[in-house]
Structure 1
């Protein structure tokens, strides 16, 4: 896999300070030298969630490229190292172990998947490596871990917002189609609790395999129940076939999903079939250029020759900038302990329309931002 340079955001003149200001001891920590800093990421470059990684990678790379063009952080160029785990948890763990052993990762950023992060977090704590912005909103993973700094709001927050919206529309019979793994089952549990709070009857619960091979059975189950709306607790390529099947069988059926239900590539595949689907957003609308942060993101994407803007690439752009802010605050004489303390010190940091605020004690969760959007036939949100 070809590596592309990642950018460091230089937020102060100190970021461009000469490498000679750094103590030799800091360069001895794995993954960092006087000239480079390795960022490790394990993600599904292949397999059913490859579409998510495509968008994620573009956002991170655009941010890294911007930062490195500005001279890096304290003279260090950021190097993003992404390895493929195909959404297999053990491969995620093996990838990170190898990165640490080979000295390719001073810090971890945005490894993807709920089951993958569930397997990874014990290793992160044991290795003492800072980990910023896991790409999962699973509340079960938001534990009191000293090395893990979540950025996005939780799936629990997202599901609650969706169910509140459905209740406000007067809907009483709602179905849930969930991915048949740890991710989907946790979202099902969140949905069950949220619907009970709103006195909404769970009309049907159908488990969709990760590869989508039992789609026919799921569609039959939904058809028999005839719910007024369906919550999509799915992710990846399986979501595309599911939406198409539901649209074909139930043209007027209301569908609503979380922020990860459909990636940019999957929305493109759906085309007009994606029109009317409601989803949560854990970052602002990637096309809303009136927001300063979004303008910065779009500028960085264009500078990297990318002109397709997506929620996922904006999210990972933000994640990289949160890491960069921590590196800035940690200073030139960098250690992992200093980076942990620096990240924990972030309070009410306004990135330009999006605020990050970590409490002094773990679990560290930077944002509770949740908004709602409805896709148009062009794949953008209706305004």
Structure 2
């Protein structure tokens, strides 16, 4: 397949800049969120969109259930955009990276979506996170009123875990979805003779959203399943504590980091060995920092990006840039945010003029094969890039093993 042979905009080390701690970044983020909700004319003293730098908007769900995914992802994206601007931006012009934070409600997402569309300088959405945001944006794109600018606004590299989503011709996922992650994890388990899998859902809504994907993945590998979900008004800690001894030793967990911590608290009250398989929405670094590791419970987590210990160029560049820009430890979700921004920047760098919504959308619709320093983007004729899956483990002593 053809490859993108344009010069990579991240081919040099980042320039030295002061460190920013997360609390400083969050204060900055609140300011940019407010700015992004203003009309474009109020955001810039320049007259008209042509005089303003191109804007990339990133919508992020910072509700309790998603904050451990979104915050690291946002830091990774900011690292990439600052790195690009330190090297001259796109064709000598800086890129304005705007973050709009939402609280996870449909109303807040719709407001963010409208703000992005009303900003005349916005050429694309990039790295929208988490899964509910990415799915919700798909629906808003389909339901847009006639004549809205949304017709030409691309959604690039969202954290879209739902594999069966119809992304149409304006959304460009580059990360492996939930079904690919499940299949990878289950194949790994099948090698050691696992024939039955317990599936634990964080809540009834998560079960409704993910059940069909999991059934398809497990059926394709000939695995039997037992499903568990907290009772109405119950907790995951109670479910873990009361899980029957007849439940499979291998448990697939579908949910986020806070819910997994709660489940592990319940499981460690049992005197039974359990393997918990988590998907990429679980932040393995946060789990390790929480001190939740317990004797008798090992956590295996799939990742949609290379492991942080991998020697590939994109990981080395991410770690180096993050160390210069933020007082933050590296994380796989941060690496995902970094890769999302780098992909968008490299596609836009291939344009012959300053990007507009129409030219940006057309460039992404070409879906060119691209190697971002060891992370290969290859749509292979489909709507979702055929990306790989990796796997790490939180051992019972709290170490992360890649």
TM-score (normalizing by structure 1): 0.82
- 2:196 corresponds to which of 164, 170, 173: 173
Partners of 2:176 and 2:387 within 8 A in 1: yes
- 1:369 corresponds to which of 369, 372, 388: 388
SS in 1 for 2:169: coil
SS in 2 for 1:36: coil
Match of 1:139 in 2: 163
Q: Distance in 1 between matches of 2:271 and 2:321?
A: 41
Unaligned stretches of 5+ residues in structure 1? 1-8, 14-30
Aligned pair in 2 of structure 1 residues 269, 251: CA closer, same or farther (>3 Å)? farther
Q: Distance in 2 between matches of 1:85 and 1:334?
A: 27
Unaligned stretches of 5+ residues in structure 2? 1-7, 13-47, 145-149
Shift of 1:122: 3.1
Match of 2:174 in 1: 151
- 2:126 corresponds to which of 102, 106, 109: 109
Shift of 1:219: 2.5
1:335 aligns with 2:356: yes
Q: Distance in 1 between matches of 2:278 and 2:251?
A: 8
Greater relative contact order structure (CA < 8 Å, 6+ sep): 2
Shift of 1:110: 2.0
Q: Distance in 1 between matches of 2:50 and 2:290?
A: 43
Shift of 1:65: 0.9
Match of 2:322 in 1: 301
Shift of 1:66: 0.4
Q: Distance in 2 between matches of 1:251 and 1:133?
A: 40
1:7-26 → structure 2 map (5 Å cutoff): 10=9
Match of 2:69 in 1: 52
Partners of 2:261 and 2:292 within 8 A in 1: no
Match of 1:73 in 2: 90
Aligned pair in 2 of structure 1 residues 263, 331: CA closer, same or farther (>3 Å)? farther
TM-score (normalizing by structure 2): 0.79
1:352 aligns with 2:369: no
SS in 2 for 1:107: strand
Match of 2:57 in 1: 40
Aligned pair in 2 of structure 1 residues 240, 265: CA closer, same or farther (>3 Å)? same
Cα RMSD over matched residues? 2.9
Q: Distance in 2 between matches of 1:173 and 1:156?
A: 18
1:279 aligns with 2:301: yes
Partners of 2:61 and 2:133 within 8 A in 1: no
Q: Distance in 2 between matches of 1:10 and 1:34?
A: 23
Match of 2:117 in 1: 100
Match of 1:228 in 2: 249
Partners of 2:380 and 2:386 within 8 A in 1: no
SS in 2 for 1:90: helix
Q: Distance in 2 between matches of 1:82 and 1:378?
A: 37
